[in-house]
Structure 1
Amino acid sequence: MLTQHGVKIAPSTYYDARGCGPSPREVSDERWKPIILGTWEKQRKVFGARKLWLRLRRDGHDIARCTVERLMRELGIAGVVRGKRKRPVDTALRESRPADLVARHFWRFRTYQLWVADFTYVWTWSGWVYVAFVFDAHSRRILGWRAATSMTTPLVLDCLDMALWTRRREGVAGFAGLTHHTDADEIVAALRAHASPVEAAGLARYFKTGPGEYGEGDRFLGLHLSTVSAIAKENLGLPVAELERLLESPYHEVRTTALSIMHQEASRARTVEARRAELFELYLRRHDRINNWDLVDLACRWVVGGYLMDKPRDILYRLARSANVWERRTAMVSCWAFIRAGQAHDAVAIAEILVDDPHDLIRKATGWMLRSIGEVDPPVLVAFLDRHAASMPRTTLRYAIEKFPRDERAQWMSVRAKHAGTPRSAAKAKPQRDAAPLV
C-alpha cells in the first residue's frame, strides 16, 4: 500500500517497524502513570507538577520533573491554581476572522437594517458574569440585553426576544428587511467559501447517506477536516446558543465545526469547569444532531469522557442501553478518557453490555476500546477475551486483538472459529497454555 502511493520504503524496514514492541520510554511511561495518578489523587488533586514531583521524590521515586509534567499533561490532570482569574473563554487575539454574511460591513444608511448580537463576560467580586446584548448597527442603540452567572442558551435568546419586544412596544409590527448577525453566520459563510461539490458527492457515499443506510439524508458541503478544524480554532469560546445553532444545520461539516469547537475547548486544561459542564450538557441535549460515527468520535472522548473523569458515570450506562446507535457509540467511545488515565473498569463494564450489539459501528467501537485497554492493561483485555472471544462478533474480536503478535491473533481467531455456532452460554475461550496472549 505504501509503495503504491509513492512512499519509498524497504520491506525489511516496514516489517521491523510493525513487529517492534513498545519503546523503553513507552514502557517507563506506563509504569509511572498509575503512580503519578495515585499520588495526585492522594493529595486531594491539588498538587501541580512541581509539588507532585517533590512528593514523589520524598516517597522514594527517582523521576525527573519534566517527566512528571509531560505525563500529567497526557493524563489530563493539573494542580489547583490559586490567586488567578481563570478566563472562561479563549481571549487570544486572532489575526483573521472567517468571512460572514455581511462581509464585515456593518455601516448602514438607516436604523433597523442590521442588528448585531454579541456576548462577553465581566469579572466581579462574586465571580464571572456573562453579558449578552443585541444592538442596532446604525444607531448603536442597545435593544436587548441580559446578564447571568452562567453561559446558557436562554441567556442569548432572551436578548433577541427583548429586542423584538422593544420594537413591538414602539409600534413596529413586522421586521422585513432586518438582518440579525451572529458569529454562527460567519462560520457557515466561511465553510461555504471552501465548499466543493465533487468532494461532497464522495463524502455522501463514504458516510452512507443512501436510503436505509445509517447516514440517510445527511448533506455535505465537501470540506476536508483540516479546513473545518482551522475554522473551529478561530472561533473557540463561541456561546452555547451559537453552537446549538450550528448543530441544527442540515450540513454535516457545519455540525462538525460545532463539535470541533467543543472538542478543542474540552481538551484544553485551562477551560473552566463551568464551560466544560455546559458543553457536556449541550452534547447530551442535542444528541439528535450528533448522528454519525465521526461526529460522535470527534467530541465525546473529551466533552463527555473528560468531563466525567471525576464524576459519577451512570449516564454512560443509560446511553449504552439506548435504542439509538449513536448514543450507544457515545457510551463506549467516551471511555477512552478513562482508559487513558488507567481506569478500565467502566470501559470493561460497558463493553460487556455492548459485546453482542448487532450494529457494525458499535462492534467496531467496542473492539477499538478493548484494544486501547490492552495497550494500558493487557491482563484486563486477556481476561475479557477469556470470557467472550469464543462468541463475540468477528469484527469486535479483530479490532480488539489488532496489536497482538500474528501468532496470538491467529490463536484467538481460531478459538472463535472453533466455537462458531455454539450458544453463548456454552462457549468458553480456552487458548493454549504455551501461547499465553500479551503478557
Structure 2
Amino acid sequence: MGYDAFPGNGSPKINKDYEIAKLEKKVEELERENEILKNFRAFLSQGHARGAGSSKSIGGEIGPIKKACGLMKVSKSGFHEYLSRKKSNAQIEREELEGFAVEAFHRRKGRYGCRRIDRELRKSGIAVSEKRVLRIMQKLGLAGKGATRKRRIQKKIEPGHPRLNLVERAFAVGERNRLWVGDITYIPTREGWLYLAAVIDASSRKVVGWSMSERITEKVATDAIEQAVGREGPPDDGSLVFHDDQGAQYTSRSFHL
C-alpha cells in the first residue's frame, strides 16, 4: 500500500519531507567542508615540519586528505610535495614579515595604509622600507579603509539596498533567509595568506555560502554570496538583509544583493 491509496488535494507530505531532507544533507555537507577548512588552517598555522608525519596522522588532524585537497583545488600528490619542500631563509623572512604586516593591519581594524603600517612595524623593532610594506600589502590585497573612503562616500546607494541600521529593523529573525551575515577569515599558510569569505544564515547559524582566495578583493565576497543565493534561492522581494562589517570588499561597486 503506497501513498496513491490515499487520494487528496496537494502534493504528498513525503515530497516536502524529501526536499527538507535534501536541504539538510546539503547543509551538513557544507558544515563538514567548513570544518575541514578550519582544521586545514590550524594545521598550517601550527608550523608543522614539512615532510613530517604520515598521511594517517595528517589526515587525523585536518580530516580526509583527498577531500581537503579537493576543497583547496590542489592534487593530493601536490600537497605531499608541498609538505616536503624546504624553505629558504629569504622565504622564511618574507613570510614572517607578511605575518607581522597582516597582524598590524588587523590590529588597527584595517584603517592603516602602508605608511602607518611601516611605522607600526618600526615601533615593534622591525626595520623595513615603506615601499616593501606597500608591495606586501598589494600582494595580500590589504587596503586601508582611509584609501577607499572617498570612493565609498561617492557611491550612490540604491533605494532597494540601504546600508545602515538594517539589522535593527523589526522582523522575524527566526525565519531562514531573512538575515545573512558576511565574515572574512584570514588564514596563514606556508605560502602566504588565504582569505575565506563565508555567508552565515542568522536563524540557522549555518554556513550557506563560502569562497576562498589568495587575495582579499571584492570577488571573494561576491563569490561567497553568489554561492549562497544559488544554494538557498532566497525570495526576490527585498526581505533578505545582508549584514557585514562595512569593509572595502563589501562596499565596492561590484558588491550588491
Query: What's the TM-score once normalised by structure 2's chain length?
Result: 0.35
- More RCO (CA 8 Å, sep 6+): 2
Which structure features the higher share of strand residues? 2
Query: What's the TM-score once normalised by structure 1's chain length?
Result: 0.22
Larger Rg: 1
